[in-house]
Amino acid sequence: MQLIGARPGIPISAAALLGEIGLDVPDADHVSTMTAHIRSATDMVETAAARPIGQRDVAFIVERCQWSCWWFPVVSVQAVTKVETTADWITWDEVPGTGYAVANPAQEPRLIMIDPVGSDVKAVRVAATVGALVEEVDPVLLEAVKLVAKTFFERDLAIEGGETGDIPQAAWRLIRQKRYLRPREAF
């Protein structure tokens, strides 16, 4: 999955989360550090749960192409904006909007090709808008983000290249409750 549009905002304000841990009047450094920790925690929870927090435009490239149905690796799919195929990895041909459909976009999203992809096609590129609005984030996932961000902040961990230590078991339990596993890749 490749991000092709703007990255969504963070799901909770740094000042609010700092208030929850007892820093009612945080300084600018605390807010900046907590914002980075919230971003890292959000990325971790999104990846672990396969549920993007905040809408974004992404592209998927699917290689094994003799299929008529492909399950998206994330939930939920708001819209498919373009589907293209390639037989030579150089030129991409757009599939008309009547050549595909999206089934069950909110729970188990899958792309259904009206005419199955032929054996000459090497890959299919799908551009889509995925994820829920930041304001509509599942409260369970939001709580997992808060737990992880608080842990990062309290341990004052490095955002890049540092050891993350142990993520609270409570966060993993929350993520497992909402984790999306696609039924299968293609058929």
Q: What is the pLDDT of residue 163?
A: 58
- Lowest mean pLDDT: which of 18-27, 113-122, 158-167? 158-167
Residue 157 has pLDDT above 50, yes or no: no
Q: pLDDT tens for residues 91-147?
A: 999 998 888 999 999 889 999 988 877 778 899 999 999 998 888 889 999 999 999
Q: Residue 187 pLDDT more than 70?
A: no
Top pLDDT among 42 and 97 is at 42
Half-sphere exposure of 148 (CA within 13 A, CB side): 28
- Model confidence, pTM: 0.84
Question: Which pLDDT value is given to residue 101?
Answer: 93
Question: CA 99 to CA 80: how far, in whole Å?
Answer: 12
Looking at the domain assignment, is residue 86 inside a domain? yes
Coil, strand or helix: which one is 126?
A: strand
Mean pLDDT of 29-42: 92
Q: Check whether residue 122 and residue 60 sit in a common domain.
A: yes
Evaluate whether residue 187 is within a structural domain: no
| Structural domain span for residue 31 | 2-52+134-178
Q: What is the predicted pLDDT for the residue at 162? A: 53
Region for residue 54 given its phi and psi (left: phi exceeds 0; alpha: psi -120 to 50; beta: otherwise):
left
In the predicted model, what is the mean pLDDT of the chain?
A: 87
Q: What is the structure's pLDDT at 160?
A: 54
Name the domain count of the chain. Answer: 2
185 in any annotated domain: no
Please, are residues 48 and 175 in contact by the beta-carbon 8 Å criterion? yes
Q: 164-170 contacts: CB < 8 A, separation 24 or more?
A: 167/44
Asked if the model's pLDDT at residue 32 lies above 80, the reply is: yes
Determine the pLDDT at residue 97: 85
Do 154 and 126 share a structural domain? no
Asked, for residue 143, whether it belongs to a domain, the answer is: yes
pLDDT at 115: 81
pLDDT on residue 134: 80
In degrees rounded to 5, what are phi and psi of residue 20?
-65, -25
